[in-house]
């Protein structure tokens, strides 16, 4: 029997930047690393950027040059060398880079993080050859981590029953989002809030179509980083919804985001595909009522909430009905079980699950 020795951890991501650190997957990366650093030695491998004040002071940073990050092949070579260095130091390494570093096929101490299988859906950006190569490479990974039981089931169905040993580690939320105030009335002047990147799968188009069918003027806030798809949506729909007070915001810090949640009555998410859905948990914990797509992952993470209405995201009348039925709600307290979405709890459970998998 192997001796249970407290290992140090190395977290690697080539996708994170200072500008994108508040996006879901990157937010997870930072919170997990910082919380594991409270009880384990941690190093972080990330692109070179201005990281002062972001990571725990005890975390060792290894910064990848921008010339390497800009080229996937060079990033692959860099992470292969680092994975051997990490294993030599006796670390447990967690990485989300594709293609997978070679040592991940052999080492029991290296874990591949897969958020979802979006690359293999109609929303994936890789071509058929790249997808075929990635699927083949995934079949032989020894250790997996994913963020939901829905994603775990999808991975098993996609790759086969021999991949049942997958660690599930939920995404979490900052405790500052929790709304426990039951007596003090919270003034909520935002009727509808939607937080999502501007991608086809986020289904902004259907929500904008629905807003055009609601005649009563509403205060609606969209939060997400701007791009050409956002501009396209604005060009098509802004005249049709000009009677509403529409705000498009981006690059909000945690404090500003928390204030927006606390001002919002409804959080509406018509997304067609998600690996998790962190904004739904944040919104529910902040006292918003949730109207969202009837997709498996949303039902999983909101299974204990009574303050949610599910709709068919492909049918605008279903979205419209859910919104109209709940706009008058005066709900201002959270409900559900939020302990399992606490970052420190998630980090401790992840470490325990990983070390148990290595020992066994």
Among 20-24, 155-159, 307-311, top mean pLDDT goes to 307-311
The verdict on 314 and 351 lying in the same domain is no
Q: Rg of the Cα trace of the chain? A: 21
Same domain, residue pair 192 and 139? no
Distance CA 163, CA 157 (A): 9
Which residues of 131-288 form beta strands (DSSP E)? 144-146, 166-168, 190-195, 219-223, 245-249, 264-269
Together in a domain, 166 and 211:
no
Q: What is the mean pLDDT of the chain?
A: 90
Q: How many domains is the chain partitioned into structurally?
A: 2
- Regarding whether 24 and 134 lie in a shared domain, the answer is yes
Q: Given a cut of 60, is residue 353 above it in pLDDT?
A: yes
**What would the mean pLDDT of 99-103 be, rounded to a whole number?**
88
pLDDT for 255 equals 87
Tell me whether residue 3 is in a domain: no
The answer, yes or no, to whether residue 198 has pLDDT greater than 80, is yes
Assigned domain for 301 exists: yes
For residue 212, is pLDDT > 50?
A: yes
Is residue 267 in some structural domain? Answer: yes
Largest Cα–Cα separation, the chain = 69
204 and 93: one domain? no
Q: Is 1 domain-assigned?
A: no
Tens of pLDDT, residue by residue over 21-55, are: 888 889 999 999 999 999 999 999 999 999 999 99
Q: CB under 8 Å to 200, separation ≥6 — which residues?
A: 123, 229, 272
For 259-306, the pLDDT digits (tens) are 999 999 999 999 999 999 999 999 998 889 999 999 999 999 999 888
Is residue 158's pLDDT more than 50? yes
Confirm whether 268 is domain-assigned.
yes
| Mean local confidence (pLDDT), 173-185 | 66
Does 160 lie in the same domain as 43? yes
Lowest mean pLDDT segment, chosen from 56-60, 67-71, 326-330: 326-330
Same domain as 141, residue 14? yes
Do 14 and 163 share a structural domain? yes
One domain for residues 34 and 45: yes
Does residue 2 lie in a domain region?
no
Closest residue by Cα to residue 111 from 342, 324, 359, 357: 357
Q: What is the CATH number of the domain that holds 114?
A: 3.40.50.2000
Instruction: Count Cβ neighbours within 10 Å for each residue of 283-305 and write b for 16 or more, e otherwise.
Output: bbbbbbbbbbbebebbebbbeeb
The CA distance from 310 to 264, in Å, is 18
Question: DSSP character for 311?
Answer: E
Residue 181 is predicted with a pLDDT of 55
Averaged pLDDT, 230-245: 91
pLDDT digits (tens, 9 = 90+) for 240-250: 999 999 999 98
Output the pTM of the full model: 0.90
Residue 161's pLDDT band, with cuts at 50, 70 and 90, is low
Residues 79 and 132 in one domain: yes
Q: Which of these, 273, 283, 269, 295, lies nearest to 331 by C-alpha position?
A: 283
Percent of the chain exceeding pLDDT 90 equals 61
Please, are residues 224 and 197 in contact by the beta-carbon 8 Å criterion? yes
Q: Do 202 and 332 share a domain, yes or no?
A: yes
Q: Is the pLDDT of residue 176 over 80?
A: no
Query: Does a structural domain hold residue 101?
Result: yes
Residue 60: its pLDDT value, please? 96
- Domain containing 186 equals 175-337
| pLDDT score recorded for residue 179 | 61
pLDDT of residue 56: 95
What's the pLDDT tens digit per position in 120-151? 988 888 888 888 888 888 888 889 999 999 99
Residue 4 lies in a domain: no
Q: Which residues pair with 9 in a beta bridge?
A: 42, 92
Residues 325 and 180 in one domain: yes
Q: Is a pLDDT exceeding 50 seen at residue 1?
A: no
333 — pLDDT class (breaks 50, 70, 90): low
pLDDT for 2 beyond 50: no
Check whether 183 has a pLDDT greater than 70: no
User: Could you give the percent of the chain with pLDDT greater than 70?
Assistant: 92
Least confident range of 52-66, 262-276, 332-346: 332-346
**pLDDT the model gives residue 225:** 84
């Amino acid at each position: 029997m192997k001796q249970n020795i407290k290992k140090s951890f190395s977290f690697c991501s080539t996708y994170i930047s200072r500008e994108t650190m508040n996006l879901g997957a990157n937010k997870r990366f930072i919170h997990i690393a910082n919380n594991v650093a409270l009880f384990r030695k941690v190093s972080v491998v990330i692109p070179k950027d201005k990281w002062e004040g972001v990571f725990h002071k005890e975390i060792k940073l290894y910064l990848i040059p921008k010339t390497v990050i800009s080229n996937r092949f060079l990033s692959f070579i860099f992470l292969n060398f680092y994975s051997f260095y990490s294993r030599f130091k006796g670390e447990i390494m967690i990485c989300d880079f594709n293609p997978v570093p070679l040592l991940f096929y052999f080492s029991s101490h290296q874990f591949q993080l897969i958020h979802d299988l979006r690359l293999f859906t109609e929303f994936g950006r890789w071509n058929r050859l790249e997808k075929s190569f990635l699927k083949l490479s995934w079949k032989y990974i020894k250790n997996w981590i994913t963020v939901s039981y829905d994603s775990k089931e999808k991975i098993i169905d996609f790759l086969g029953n021999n991949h049942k040993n997958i660690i599930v580690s939920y995404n979490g939320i900052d405790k500052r989002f929790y709304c426990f105030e039951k007596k003090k009335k919270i003034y909520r002047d935002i009727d509808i809030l939607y937080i999502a990147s501007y991608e086809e799968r986020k289904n902004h188009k259907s929500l904008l179509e629905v807003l055009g069918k609601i005649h009563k003027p509403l205060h609606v806030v969209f939060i997400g980083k701007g791009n050409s798809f956002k501009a396209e949506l604005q060009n098509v729909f802004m005249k049709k919804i000009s009677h509403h007070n529409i705000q498009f915001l981006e690059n909000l810090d945690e404090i500003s985001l928390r204030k927006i949640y606390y001002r919002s009555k409804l959080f509406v998410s018509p997304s067609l595909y998600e690996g998790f859905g962190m904004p739904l948990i944040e919104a529910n914990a902040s006292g918003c009522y949730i109207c969202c797509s009837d997709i498996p992952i949303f039902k999983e993470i909101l299974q204990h909430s009574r303050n949610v209405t599910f709709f068919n995201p492909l049918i605008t009348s279903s979205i419209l009905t859910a919104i109209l039925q709940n706009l008058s709600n005066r709900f201002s307290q959270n409900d559900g079980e939020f302990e399992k979405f606490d970052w420190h709890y998630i980090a401790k459970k992840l470490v325990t699950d990983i070390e148990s998998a290595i020992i066994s």
